């Protein structure tokens, strides 16, 4: 963990307690946003006193940033894992789509938090944490696309940077559509009520969409 946001003491407590705090904070922040999130509630939810919380984190903002950091690292790990294999662009994209479906469902709060972050006043600070990941994935996408283009696997006339951008846009919206109430409702309009059972359809069609965009026919 990046210790810019928490004090030494936070690493001295039991792994289990640390996790309880992180979980409670992610839940609270993702449900209410930064301003309305209640530190006292986080303390209660995690079975820790407010005083202790302030022993671990300088203030509310740092707790928030630490939490964001955790979320980012988790997502980064998932994506890098996939991207660093040496499979084809096509199969990597397919894997990412599936991974997003699984990871997002398992980390709904984290994804909500990510959406929350994009609205904050604090986005400059937040940006410092997230940019690391965004840079990493952007770079990966772009280079893989370039490689595929140079090998003649995908159309020549595409701008690798922008295609990577649109690709990532589709992925981000996919995440939100699985986690955030608003986007979940919105997806129902297109997919129907039982979105849960349509994972495969959603993935297949997205794959088709993306392949069409990228590949020669």
Chain residues binding DNA by CB under 7 A are 9, 12-13, 17, 36-40, 48-52, 54-55, 59-61
Closest approach of Cβ 182 to a copy of itself, in Å?
4
User: Residues 39, 60: contact at Cβ < 8 Å?
Assistant: yes
Closest CA to 174 of 105, 88, 78: 105
CB of 66 to DNA, least distance (A): 13
Q: Pick from 184, 38, 176: which is nearest to 119 by CA?
A: 176
Task: Tell the smallest beta-carbon distance from residue 128 to DNA (Å).
Answer: 19
Q: Which residue's CB is nearer to DNA, number 54 or number 127? A: 54
Q: How far apart are CA 73 and CA 5, in angstroms?
A: 14
Supply the minimum distance, in Å, between the C-beta of residue 16 and a copy of itself: 26
Closer residue to a copy of itself (CB): 86 or 157: 157
Q: How far is CA 34 from the centre of its chain?
A: 17
User: What is d(CA 80, CA 123) in angstroms, rounded to the nearest whole number?
Assistant: 24
Closer Cβ to a copy of itself, 2 or 169, answer by number: 169
By beta-carbon proximity to DNA, the closer residue of 16 and 156 is: 16
């Amino acid at each position: 963990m990046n210790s810019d946001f928490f004090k030494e003491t936070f690493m001295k407590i039991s792994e289990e307690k640390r996790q309880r705090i992180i979980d409670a904070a992610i839940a609270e922040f993702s449900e209410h946003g930064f301003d309305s999130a209640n530190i006292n509630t986080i303390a209660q939810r995690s079975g820790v006193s407010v005083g202790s919380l302030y022993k671990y984190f300088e203030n509310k903002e740092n707790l928030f940033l630490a939490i964001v950091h955790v979320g980012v690292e988790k997502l980064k790990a998932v994506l890098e894992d996939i991207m660093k294999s040496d499979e084809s662009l096509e199969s990597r994209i397919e894997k990412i789509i599936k991974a997003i479906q699984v990871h997002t469902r398992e980390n709904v709060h984290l994804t909500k938090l990510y959406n929350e972050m994009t609205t904050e006043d604090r986005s400059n600070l937040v940006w410092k944490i997230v940019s690391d990941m965004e840079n990493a994935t952007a770079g990966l996408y772009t280079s893989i696309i370039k490689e595929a283009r140079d090998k003649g696997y995908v159309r020549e006339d595409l701008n690798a940077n922008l295609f990577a951008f649109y690709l990532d846009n589709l992925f981000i919206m996919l995440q939100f559509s699985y986690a955030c109430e608003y986007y979940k409702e919105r997806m129902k309009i297109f997919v129907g009520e039982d979105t849960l059972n349509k994972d495969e359809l959603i993935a297949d069609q997205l794959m088709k969409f993306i392949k069409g965009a990228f590949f020669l026919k």
